[in-house]
A = this chain, B = another copy of it.
Amino acid sequence: MLTYNFEKRGKQSLYEYLYQCIKEDILSGKIKSGEKLPSKREMAKNHNISVITVENAYAQLIVEGYIYAREKRGYFASEISRQYMKQGLQKNNQHNKNIKDRNGCRMKEKQEWLVDFNSNHIMYDNFPFSTWSRIMRQTLLDKERSFLKSPSPNGVLELRQAIAGHLSHFRGIDVEEDHIIVGAGTEYLYSIIVQLLGKNSVIAVEDPGYRKISKVYESNGVRCLHLPIDRSGIQMQDMKGKNIDGVHISPSHHFPTGRVMPVSRRQDLLNWARENHGFIIEDDYDSEFRFSGRPIPTMAGMDSNHVIYMNTFSKTLAPSIRIAYMVLPDELMRKFRDKLGFYSSTVSSFEQYTLANFISMGYYERHINRMRNYYRDYRNTIISAIRQSDIYSKVTIEEENAGLHFILGIRKQINDDKFKEILRNNKINISSVSDYCYNDLEEFNHKFIINYSAVAKDKLAKALEIMNEAL
């Protein structure tokens, strides 16, 4: 007869302890498969516990498959494979070993830089914190119930309406809120585009270009072609005969060169899209930060049937606010509803309502205007500092008048990698345009990217001195 010492059970309930003991005996082989267990009554009597307790323990063992019941015959141990038993018992040791192994795959510590020209963090002091939290609180009160419901697959209606209003006002395009898809970041939206265009599709991206874009596409199984840009952008002759399904571009502000695609090339690309049943993915990131003249018009405004317009709030508000959106052409929106309408929205309703209020109450445009002025001033300060420094005779500033970075060209024929290494050894972090090239494009050598928004003014002079010495 099985006998267990119930005094050892600690905080466990009687039935849990009994369940655990029998389970361990089955796993260790002490109770053999097919072996008959004591009846509930016997087991209860033997341990001076109630029949109900035994019943509960047996019931749990049956549910988990350790024992089975035969009518009128009793309870029997199931067949549990020998091979597994050892592993089951060794689990705890293995687990401890694993913990040690795992330390190898923790994230690397971040280095402390004197100046980090790669950092694009916004200045937190500029985030409209009190307004945002006031609207959050208000949303919490107003929307108590409705924010607990699942939003529509393409996002909360109020947010899509607010985005449509913003696009009409700010980007001069009229879009239907029904054609907007809200998602948890642009990267997520790229994966939706892949599903709309098909996994065997080919997407052309700009070379140089933002590496993450093709990484995300490729991770989602698409083939990316990196087409070298000229002054106007992707070149039409490179598009021929390649069965391209989509072209991902930033016509209003190319990264990293800052170039604007002129209307003629836009037309060429739209004609290509019309003739080849292709789509332009217009990545309009950063278009809010143009420091002179009018905003550059969108391609979506030129042909809404062939352009997927896309933008994000992560750049303008805060990177931790994971809300981006895209506007789909009719054909793709129908496809989304037919084939992908089963998806749940990836952004919490609460944040969607908060952002909707923030936009429709006018705070978003006000924030962008304030940030644009802030960045313009900050950029001018940084550029003035360069102009007044000894380095100025050795460089060119290719500002292109927009965005959160500009290009510093080096007049000398230097080795870009060596230059970066020297700077890094002096705690200056910087990237070259060639870091963003896939092909070997000579035109983009000796150009460096100055993300100025996180550069501390008081450390810049020292950094420029070091850079000057390295040239």
Contact = CB atoms under 8 A, between A and B. Distances in A.
Nearest to A347: B322
Interface residues of A, number: 107
A234 interface: no
Contact of A184 (B64, B266, B322): B322
Interface string A243-285: 0000000000000000011111111101100000000000000
Given A124-B148, A260-B63, A320-B350, A304 B78 contact: no
A471 interface: no
Contact of A105 (B129, B262, B330): B330
A342 B261 CA distance: 28
A366 interface: no
Interface in A320-367: 320-323, 330, 333-334, 337, 339-340, 342-351
Contacts of A99: 176
A219 to B, nearest CB: 5
Interface in A173-205: 174, 176, 178-179, 184-185, 187-188, 191, 195, 199
Contacts of A178: 102, 105-107
Contact of A293 (B59, B176, B345): B59
Interface stretch (A1-9, A41-49, A87-95): A87-95
B124 A319 contact: no
Contacts of A129: 144
Given A98-B330, A263-B64, A264-B80, A320 B147 contact: yes
Nearest to A88: B302
